[in-house]
Structure 1
Amino acid sequence: MPSAAERTRTLVQSTCSAVLLVPGLDGARPEQLTPHARVVGPDGEVFLLYPADSPAVRAATHAQDDELAAVLEITDVAPVSVPHRIRGRAWVSGWLTAVPGLAEPGLMMLRLEVGEACVDDLWGAESVEPEDFARAFVDPLVSHEAELLQHLHSAHSDRVQGLCELLGERGDGPVDGAEAADGKGGKGQGQRAVPLALDRFGLRVRFVGERCFDARFDFPEPVRSVSELRRAMRTLFEAASH
């Protein structure tokens, strides 16, 4: 499974919605605190791009000689329609400063020096040390995940549904979400299968019906690209059809 640091950094560098929480800016509208772009620097710092007149930029500029605490909150929503659609959240907290000269006129780059981070997602809740965040790798599928899940859902829903055969007899009885996430779920009979999450290690499917549970299907080995993913998915679907 991906580490907490990898999951957090992947969310930071994804297209998930994000908002910067800064003390004293409670009256600002959420869209004013949403960065136009964000990227992680070589030392693990997070660079956030804002309009030069945004509340976040004004706060960082006025606090040049003081440490301005801030928290970047990221919300991960499943790109397909499914119950309990929020897949997770991540929080990266630290100290905010303005970095003039890095952005085009009318824009300002802010630098968030990471003090701590945490993630609460489909894998569970964990804290992340700044050093681990800085060294963590981003999942290679993150920029394609939404498109891939939507394609699986719209074009291959029957094959995704067929994955319930891989759950075997272990799940013929009632299951809770924790057991299903460990691959001990039911066969999904009477359930609608929705592809929920995808990373280099495998595919997570949510079975929706009288009861709702997740099942995780691991790839034979981690994938490094979309082409390797196609081969892994083909292997998974073939295993389910036998």
Structure 2
Amino acid sequence: MPSAAERTRTLVQSTCSAVLLVPGIEGTRPDQLTPQARVVGPDGEVFLLFRADSPAVRAATHAQDDELSAVLEITDVAPVSVPHRIRGRAWVSGWLTCAPGLAEPGFMMLRLEVGEIAVDDLWGASDVEPEEFARAAVDPVTAHETELLQHLHSAHGEQLQELCRLLGDRAQDTVGADGRQPRAVPLALDRFGLRVRFVGERSFDARFDFPEPVRDITELRRAMHILFEAAAH
């Protein structure tokens, strides 16, 4: 399974929605606290791009040499329609300063020096050490996950349904009182495998691991083919 540090790093550098929470500007509209871009620096610091006139930039500018605490809250929502769509949240807290000269005119890059990190997702809840976060790599599948899950959902529903056969004795427990199988919805995809939510009278998640972790989109397609082949026979 991916480590908590890898999962958090992936969320920070993904397209998940994020909001920067800064004491003193709580009444600000959420869209004004949403960074237009975010990237992790070589030492694990998080750089956040905002308009130069945003409340977050004003707060960081006025703080000057004082420590301004802030929390970057990230929310991960499944890209397909499924009950309980929030797949996880991550919180990166630390100290906020301006980083002049890194953004185009009209914008300002803010630097969040990381102090504490926590993640609560489909794998569970965990704290992450800043050093582990700095060393972690982004999951190579994340750039393609949204497109692939939507494609699986719209074009491969029958093959997803066949994955029930790989559940062994557990498959018997999926049948509802009316004899119907639950609907299979692809929920999450990473380099280690596919997670499917079976939605029905007794909804549950099932994890289907790849034979080995994939490193790119080519290996991912091959792994998915092997998985569907195993379910078909």
In 2: Cα distance, 1:235 partner to 1:174 partner: 23
Find the counterpart in structure 2 of residue 195 from structure 1: 186
- Post-superposition offset of 1:173: 3.1
Per-residue Cα deviation, 1:189-226 (whole angstroms, up to 9, x for no partner): 52000000000000000000111100000000000111
In 1: Cα distance, 2:51 partner to 2:75 partner: 22
Aligned-pair identity (%): 82
Q: Does 2:213 correspond to 1:222?
A: yes
Q: Does 2:230 correspond to 1:239?
A: yes
Find the counterpart in structure 2 of residue 185 from structure 1: none
Alpha-carbon spacing, 1:37–1:121, altered in 2? closer, same or farther (3 Å): same
In 2: Cα distance, 1:78 partner to 1:96 partner: 30
Correspondence 1:88-127 to 2 at 5 A: 88-127=88-127
Amino acid at match of 2:128: V
Correspondence 1:62-211 to 2 at 5 A: 62-173=62-173, 190-211=181-202
Q: Secondary structure at the match of 2:143?
A: coil
Whether contact under 8 Å (2:174, 2:182) holds in the other structure is: no
Find the counterpart in structure 2 of residue 52 from structure 1: 52
Per-residue Cα deviation, 1:89-135 (whole angstroms, up to 9, x for no partner): 00000000001111000000000000010100000000000000000
Find the counterpart in structure 2 of residue 178 from structure 1: none
Amino acid at match of 2:102: L
Amino acid at match of 2:82: V
**Structure 2: any 5+ residue segments left out of the alignment?**
none
In 2: Cα distance, 1:222 partner to 1:3 partner: 13
In 1: Cα distance, 2:173 partner to 2:220 partner: 32
- Post-superposition offset of 1:174: 6.6
In 1: Cα distance, 2:174 partner to 2:216 partner: 36
Find the counterpart in structure 2 of residue 184 from structure 1: none
- Post-superposition offset of 1:170: 3.5
- Post-superposition offset of 1:172: 2.2
Report how many residues are paired: 230
Task: Output the TM-score relative to the length of structure 1.
Answer: 0.93
Amino acid at match of 1:122: L
Amino acid at match of 2:130: P
Whether contact under 8 Å (2:174, 2:181) holds in the other structure is: no
In 2: Cα distance, 1:171 partner to 1:132 partner: 38
In 2: Cα distance, 1:194 partner to 1:161 partner: 8
In 2: Cα distance, 1:233 partner to 1:102 partner: 41
Task: Output the TM-score relative to the length of structure 2.
Answer: 0.97
In 2: Cα distance, 1:158 partner to 1:31 partner: 39
In 1: Cα distance, 2:193 partner to 2:99 partner: 39
Amino acid at match of 1:192: R
- Post-superposition offset of 1:171: 4.3
RMSD: 1.3
Amino acid at match of 2:184: A
In 2: Cα distance, 1:145 partner to 1:235 partner: 18
In 1: Cα distance, 2:158 partner to 2:218 partner: 21
Q: Secondary structure at the match of 2:142?
A: coil
Q: Secondary structure at the match of 2:93?
A: strand
Per-residue Cα deviation, 1:44-77 (whole angstroms, up to 9, x for no partner): 0000000000000000000011000000000000
Alpha-carbon spacing, 1:145–1:5, altered in 2? closer, same or farther (3 Å): same
**Structure 1: any 5+ residue segments left out of the alignment?**
176-187
